[in-house]
Amino acid sequence: MSKSKSQEEQHWDAIWINANIATFSISTEDYGVMENAALAIKDGRIAWLGSVAEATQFKADETHDADGHWITPGLIDCHTHLVYAGNRAREFEMRLNGASYEELQKAGGGILSTVKATRAASEDELLEASVKRLESLKREGVTTVEIKSGYGLELETEIKMLKVARKIGDNDKQVDVVTTFLGAHALPPEYQNNSDAYIEHIVDDMLPAVHEEKLADAVDGFCEGIGFSPEQIERVFTKAGELELPVKLHAEQLSDLNGAALAARYKALSADHLEYISESGVKAMADAGSVAVLLPGAFYILREKQLPPVQLFREHAVPMAIATDANPGSSPITSLLTVLNMACTLFSLTPAEALAGVTRNAASALGLEDDRGTLEIGKRADFILWDIDHPSELVYMIGANPCVSVIKNGIKCR
């Protein structure tokens, strides 16, 4: 007798039983807790979630006992500058002796010193250095990471960075890499005192070439006194629009230039940093559906005082994501769990908000909300098993990594 379709569908590839699950599904305000639950997968997707009692009626090729561990979606780090060469430890010392981030940048240090090192590095050297940093994110359950260019500031090196980022994604079974072209990160020495000409070069040459090679999934810029003006960013965004690439923006990190509102006009996936954003900027983001990506690591390292207006994001229902901003200058941090703690301790997010910020809302910040970021039927089977008693523990602890196991596309890879 042939099986009915519904019975066929209820034969899973694998099932995890005896788990506590935090789904972060959009229908819940909180963690979306299912205690004493089970999760089944088929073809690399989540096929079923329910109680352990119900699970016994189904067949699965493999049964895994989660042994009371908690399961969350795979973590998503939606804003990193993970690919770079060298480091800026000396600059860290100089800042501790009184120099400001902006002063160092103006004196040719800062981003430009990393540009020098990144231009000089071979593709292999860059890959090796970046993979080490990625490994630290992976240990704590990251299964999707965004990586920006922006330390080349010339076509050849920007392409080299993006190729390395793509290669990391192609070679790694645990992590998907989403790439972002950040040519408008800083003014390269070749264009000193001629920033409009550099923007023209980005628009006419760099962005089309990067797009031609399919190396960028999105386009970003640094809208700031020490970066580029809103008018200049707008020219980059217009070109991105012509090429049908989504945009995002480093905005309102050190001052308010109305960058977030500009990004919102271009339906940005996200605006990032946002310490100095005004209420009108928050409203513009709400209307556009852009995600507020908060980067407490940079706030901490630069010892900033101006807090992002978290309460306004809540009131206007702007989704908040949290990311490492992993970079050699303002955020030499490759621990997303530590950054979760910072988001709560420094920015007063609740642990549930912080965790939604590295799952559901981080997926939205990458335009991947239909595919991942929550544990729901049909979503990618990316999830983590944690040795904790409650999800808030992930945010509360610093330096204790309770990651027990990582499942990516339904396959156990750690």
Dihedral sign, CA of 95, 101, 107, 109?
positive
114 binds, among ligand DI6, Fe ion, none (CB under 5 to 8 A by kind): ligand DI6
Burial class (CB within 10 angstroms; exposed 0-12, middle 13-18, buried 19+) of 56: exposed
Closest CA to 148 of 82, 99, 195, 73: 82
Instruction: Give strand pairing partners of 222.
Output: 250
109 binds, among ligand DI6, Fe ion, none (CB under 5 to 8 A by kind): none
Per CB under 6 A, 330 contacts ligand DI6? yes
Q: Considering only residues 302-341, where is the footprint of Fe ion by CB under 5 A?
A: 325
Which of 329, 410 has the CB closer to ligand DI6? 329
Cβ atoms of residues 281 and 252 within 8 Å: yes
Which of 81, 408 has the CB closer to ligand DI6? 81
Give the H or E element holding residue 71: strand 70-73
* C-beta nearest to Fe ion: residue: 325
Question: β-pairing, 320-322 with 176-184?
Answer: unpaired
Per CB under 6 A, 181 contacts ligand DI6? no
State the number of binding residues for ligand DI6 (CB under 6 A): 15
CA angle 150, 154, 158 (to 5 degrees): 45
- Piece in contact with ligand DI6 (CB under 6 A), picked from 34-42, 47-55, 106-114, 187-195: 106-114
Per CB under 6 A, 277 contacts ligand DI6? no
- Extract the tokens encoding 113: 């010193």
Q: Which residue among 201, 250, 379, 380 contacts ligand DI6 (CB under 6 A)?
A: 250
183 binds, among ligand DI6, Fe ion, none (CB under 5 to 8 A by kind): none
Which of 34, 323 has the CB closer to Fe ion? 323
Q: What SS3 state is found at 36?
A: strand
Which of 224, 234 has the CB closer to ligand DI6? 224
Closest CA to 155 of 91, 109, 210, 74: 210
Instruction: Give strand pairing partners of 322.
Output: 294
Q: Considering only residues 111-130, where is the footprint of ligand DI6 by CB under 6 A?
A: 111, 114
Kindly list the residues in this chain that would bind ligand DI6 in the complex (CB under 6 A).
81, 110-111, 114, 185, 222, 250, 253, 298, 325, 327-331
Kindly list the residues in this chain that would bind Fe ion in the complex (CB under 5 A).
325
